[in-house]
Amino acid sequence: MRSRSLILTLGRLLFIGSVISACLPVNPTPALPEYQVAGTLTAQPSPSPTVLPDRSDELSCTQDSDCVLAYRTDQCCDCWSIYNRTTLDENRHLRLVDEPAGYKYAKWRCPQIPCPFVACAPCFNPPYGLVCDDLICRGAETWQEIMHACEALPQDKQSYCYGNAAVTAYQNEGEEKAAGICTSLNGIETWGTPFSADCLLQVARLIMANDPQRSMLFCRSYMTTLQSNCLNESAYAIGSTDMEAGLAVCSEITGDSANDIQQKEFCFHNLAMTVAKADLARARQICAMMSGEVERCELDAEEEVTR
């Protein structure tokens, strides 16, 4: 009886061990010593192998809905990768990125392995939408593909997605195409701003990074709602190299809405702060161009000098 009991006990232990081992990697990522964490970002991509692994079985598809973004729970600091839905269903170590509340997987999922003393770098932004192209899943690339993917997103994410479609169009077909995409949008943000206006502002900011003067012209040509916001930001960018030109743009901000008035005040205030440390007298002159809060601006300029 004792030998039979021992055999049964060992059998149970082996069974439990097999269940546990199914959710643990054979070669887990080692935890870094605590003193190495500060200088280590474990999510940095490793050097590309000479021969890339064949993932065709994980990426095969027949339609766009076959493709998903998922991450592995058996690795530390894993970011998203593209898989087909069959791979997601079969692999217990995969979980959906932006997993819906209460989502039911085809098979139970293994928990995330613990990764003590590991510092993870931020992940790169995933693509906006996935497409099945020639029976292989990939990220949306053209503005048409991104636009199609935006339609399936919740409202609070659609505007930024549409902006990415417009930015992609700008990079490949120019600002007129990008503006056309933005102005064709319907709907509003949860805080009340039209999708079209927010989209145009995103394109203007992209132009602004390389050519602030051009972004100012874009603001004037295509924007009505949020035009004052766009001119304010353009003026600040222009003023970093040409203060008088930046101030001229601030003066051009018109409109009677509370936002227009506020943006004009911000415009002068921000430019005053950029010169305060080098020329406090000039900063005060710029503050005097404001219609209100002049004293507040002057105090802020004085504080800027002491920083």
Look at residue 6 in the predicted model and tell me its pLDDT.
41
Q: What is the 3-state secondary structure (H, E, C) of 49-97?
A: CCCCCCCHHHHECCCHHHEEEEEECCCCCCCCEEEEHHHHHHCCCEEEC
Look at residue 32 in the predicted model and tell me its pLDDT.
36
- Per-residue pLDDT tens digits for 208-258: 999 999 999 999 999 998 999 999 999 999 999 999 999 999 999 988 899
- Predicted confidence band of residue 152 (pLDDT cuts 50, 70, 90): confident
- Predicted confidence band of residue 184 (pLDDT cuts 50, 70, 90): confident
Query: HSE of 150 in the Cβ direction (CA atoms, 13 Å)?
Result: 26
Domain ranges of the chain: 57-139, 155-306
User: Using CB atoms within 10 A of its CB, is residue 46 exposed (0-12), middle (13-18) or buried (19+)?
Assistant: exposed
- Predicted confidence band of residue 23 (pLDDT cuts 50, 70, 90): low
- Per-residue pLDDT tens digits for 258-303: 999 999 999 999 999 999 999 999 999 999 999 888 999 999 999 9
- What average pLDDT does range 174-184 have in this prediction? 91
User: In angstroms, what is the C-alpha Rg of the chain?
Assistant: 28
What percent of the chain has pLDDT above 90?
53
- Per-residue pLDDT tens digits for 105-151: 989 999 999 988 888 888 888 888 899 999 999 999 999 999 888 88
- Predicted confidence band of residue 84 (pLDDT cuts 50, 70, 90): very high
| C-beta separation of 212 from 234 below 8 A | yes
- Predicted confidence band of residue 54 (pLDDT cuts 50, 70, 90): low
CA distance 293 to 299: 10
- What average pLDDT does range 35-49 have in this prediction? 39
- Reply yes or no on whether the pLDDT at 28 is more than 70: no
Domain 155-306: state its class.
mainly alpha
Residue tagged 């000039």 (tokens): 282
- Reply yes or no on whether the pLDDT at 50 is more than 90: no
CA distance 267 to 276: 15
